[in-house]
């Protein structure tokens, strides 16, 4: 076996040092953390934010391989320490405006006696024992001020099996030798390419009972066993952290290295429900538990869709953070839930009205403004329960200072309750919501009969309506088929539709009738 080595040699004169560093600001919240500045000092950096040397950074959560020059002209010869730290920009509390830990690295300064860059004339290597400067094995090179990417074959034929050290050094035109570089390697003669069969596997937890005495794992002998699953018996293991060990035996009677993994066994859990007894909120700055603004609640195991009025009196113009947390009957606090909101010097929108109403076969969503500026889009959201809303469309605002009127048509409402609201999104990403409007599409006595239900190849429509249309709508709201200008009872072929639940909507001048139908093949 031969070892291929690749080394890099250069001769330089140092007046300043270029450092390449990577900075990552660790995120502990869902909000993105950006690094916006860097400061450094040599031997002493001073208090946070007070370092003499500051470098602006393009804001980013990761600053990778960032180069900067450190002027060391006034630094004395010898070993010194470079201290570097970074500062994060806009983040959510409690991370806002934090400094990173101070990183450091050592460097050595020595003034060159000449500014001439010398040529590398000779490179040599030896293994394990130094025969003396100039007496090692020569590596052929072309003399140059920088010799990089050089490859050579060191002779290791006479070396014994085991670990060894390869040393390399270079000589320049001034007769100066470089520092000796070194690298470890391992030599092992090829003992044969026969692959043995894995014949046995076993596992144990925490304490080794000895090879061959652990718990057996059922396998089919093979040269390679991967993706193996098995059930480890942990019934007698105490609650807490443990280590599971696994090893295998081959047909030659050789055991593998023992692999291991950590796992945690939880203790018995009680099913006793706890009540939420207190909820409180604060804006931007945490005053401490029990000191935030109280939100009145009735104690219960689950409190959902709680509405409250947050006091924003005295808040400055700009972005703010609303934090909410709860306390249970065990005196345990929840994690903080938070959201952002913005207070503008001038409101971006004055909404005069917002409404939704059924109109023939669809629902008209309309709104009118008296003032608009810096708006990005209106998103129209729909819900069947008034709780979970999904986006069904968007309208681009005019941004007219005198206001504008808008209309959006929802062509596929669901039978029964339909809730609508407007999401108003500004150019900077801030958003707000309109009030919620309800449109009820229930009819008292639909004059339509659909049978059979479930249907296999077809279904029939019996009705006294004239000049109506029929829509077949899938469970996800997608329109499958439309039949128009119907004036009589109807047979509809559904043999090509997948089995599932469908909404059959009858549209007439007087009303919309929605009926569910199951197609089952």
- Residue 394: C-alpha distances to residues 349, 390, 403, 436 (Å): 17, 12, 18, 16
**Spatial distance between the Cα atoms of 448 and 456, rounded to a whole number of angstroms:** 20
Both ends of the chain: CA-CA distance in Å?
69
Distance from C-alpha of 365 to C-alpha of 359, rounded to nearest angstrom:
10
User: Are 442 and 507 a contacting pair, CB within 8 Å?
Assistant: no
How is residue 432 written in tokens?
């707000």
Tell me the C-alpha distance between 43 and 54, whole Å: 15
User: 349-440: which CATH architecture?
Assistant: Sandwich (2.60)
Enter the pTM of the model.
0.28
Is the distance from CB of 100 to CB of 62 less than 8 angstroms?
no
391 half-sphere exposure, CB direction, 13 A CA radius: 10
Residue 487 near residue 464 (C-beta atoms within 8 A): no
- So what's the pLDDT on residue 444? 45
CB atoms within 10 A of CB 10: 13
Q: Which two tokens stand for residue 146?
A: 């920088």
CATH architecture observed for domain 448-519: Sandwich (2.60)
Stated as kind and residue range, the H or E segment containing 437 is strand 437-440
Same fold flag, 349-440 and 448-519:
yes
* Residue 473 to residue 505: CA distance in whole angstroms: 8
- Say what the pLDDT of residue 32 is: 58
**Rg value, the chain, Cα:** 38
In this prediction, residue 394 carries a pLDDT of: 93
Peptide linkage before 413 cis (omega within 30 of 0): no
CA distance 207 to 245: 9
Q: The tokens of 342 are what?
A: 């913005």
Spatial contact of 172 and 147, defined as CB atoms under 8 Å apart: no
Q: 34: Cβ–Cβ under 8 A, 6 or more apart, which residues? A: 25, 59, 60, 61, 88, 89, 90, 91
**What is the pLDDT at residue 494?**
92
Residue 269 to residues 173, 273, 291, Cα–Cα distance (Å): 77, 11, 32
Compute the distance between CA of residue 415 and CA of residue 517 in angstroms, rounded to an integer. 13
Map residue 57 onto helix, strand or coil: strand
Residue-by-residue DSSP string for 255-309:
BPPPEEEEEEE--PPP-----EEEEEEEESS---TT-SEEE----BS---S----
pLDDT at 29: 43
Query: Can you give the pLDDT at residue 503?
Result: 83
User: Digits of tens for pLDDT over the chain (521 positions)?
Assistant: 333 333 333 333 344 454 444 444 444 444 557 788 889 999 988 888 888 888 888 888 777 767 888 888 888 888 899 999 888 875 455 445 678 888 888 888 887 655 567 899 999 999 999 999 999 999 999 998 888 878 888 989 889 988 999 999 999 999 999 999 999 998 887 655 567 899 999 999 999 999 999 999 999 998 888 888 899 999 899 988 999 999 999 998 999 989 999 998 887 766 567 899 999 999 999 999 999 999 999 998 888 888 888 888 888 878 899 999 999 998 999 988 888 887 765 556 678 889 898 876 789 999 988 888 888 999 999 988 778 889 999 999 988 888 889 999 998 888 778 899 999 998 888 888 888 888 887 654 446 788 888 889 999 988 877 888 889 988 777 889 998 888 778 899 999 999 888 888 888 876 777 777 888 88
Pairing of strands 362-372, 405-410: antiparallel
Round to whole Å and give the CA distance between 131 and 153: 19
**Extended strands (E) in 32-77:** 35-42, 53-60, 62-71
- What are the beta bridge partners of residue 150? 7
Tokens (6 digits) for 227: 């993706």
Domains of the chain: which residue ranges? 7-109, 120-187, 198-265, 276-339, 349-440, 448-519
Closest CA to 247 of 261, 233, 237: 261
């Amino acid at each position: 076996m031969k070892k291929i080595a690749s080394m890099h040699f250069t001769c330089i004169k140092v007046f300043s040092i270029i450092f390449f560093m990577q900075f990552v600001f660790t995120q502990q919240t869902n909000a993105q953390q950006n690094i916006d500045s860097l400061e450094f000092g040599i031997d002493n950096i001073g208090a946070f934010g007070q370092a003499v040397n500051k470098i602006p950074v393009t804001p980013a959560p990761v600053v990778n391989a960032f180069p900067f020059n450190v002027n060391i002209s006034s630094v004395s010869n010898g070993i010194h320490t470079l201290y570097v730290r970074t500062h994060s920009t806009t983040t959510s509390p409690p991370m806002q405006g934090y400094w990173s830990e101070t990183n450091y690295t050592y460097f050595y300064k020595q003034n060159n006696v000449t500014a001439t860059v010398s040529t590398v004339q000779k490179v040599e290597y030896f293994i394990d024992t130094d025969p003396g400067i100039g007496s090692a094995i020569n590596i052929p090179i072309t003399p140059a001020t920088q010799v990089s990417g050089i490859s050579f074959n060191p002779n290791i034929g006479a070396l014994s099996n085991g670990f060894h050290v390869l040393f390399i050094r270079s000589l320049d035109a001034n007769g100066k030798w470089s520092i000796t570089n070194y690298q470890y390697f391992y030599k092992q003669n090829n003992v044969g390419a026969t692959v043995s069969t894995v014949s046995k596997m076993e596992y144990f937890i925490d304490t080794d009972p000895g090879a061959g005495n652990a718990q057996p794992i059922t396998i089919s002998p093979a040269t390679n066993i991967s993706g193996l699953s098995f059930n480890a018996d942990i019934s007698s293991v105490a609650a807490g952290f443990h280590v599971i060990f696994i090893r295998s035996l081959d047909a030659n009677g050789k055991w593998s290295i023992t692999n291991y993994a950590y796992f945690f066994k939880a203790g018995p859990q009680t099913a006793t429900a706890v009540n939420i007894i207190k909820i409180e909120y604060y804006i931007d700055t945490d005053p401490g538990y029990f000191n935030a603004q109280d939100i009145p609640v009735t104690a219960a195991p689950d409190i959902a869709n709680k509405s409250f009025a947050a006091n924003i009196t005295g808040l400055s113009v700009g972005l703010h953070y609303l934090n909410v947390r709860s306390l249970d009957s065990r005196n345990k606090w929840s994690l903080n839930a938070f959201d952002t909101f913005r207070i503008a010097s001038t409101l971006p929108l004055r909404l005069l009205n917002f409404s939704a109403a059924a109109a023939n076969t669809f629902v008209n969503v309309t709104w009118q403004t008296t003032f608009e500026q810096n708006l990005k889009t209106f998103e129209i959201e729909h819900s069947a329960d008034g709780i979970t809303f999904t986006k069904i469309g968007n309208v681009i605002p005019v941004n007219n200072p005198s206001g504008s009127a808008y209309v959006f048509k929802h062509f596929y409402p669901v039978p029964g309750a339909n809730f609508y609201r407007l999401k108003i999104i500004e150019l900077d990403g801030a958003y707000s919501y309109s009030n919620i409007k309800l449109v009820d599409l229930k009819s008292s006595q639909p004059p339509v009969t659909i049978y059979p239900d479930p249907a296999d190849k077809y279904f029939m429509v019996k009705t006294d309506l004239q000049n109506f249309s029929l829509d077949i709508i899938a469970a996800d709201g997608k329109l499958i088929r439309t039949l128009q200008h119907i004036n009589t009872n109807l047979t509809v072929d559904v043999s090509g539709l997948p089995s599932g639940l469908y909404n059959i909507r009858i549209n007439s001048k007087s009303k919309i009738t929605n009926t569910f139908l199951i197609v089952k093949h």
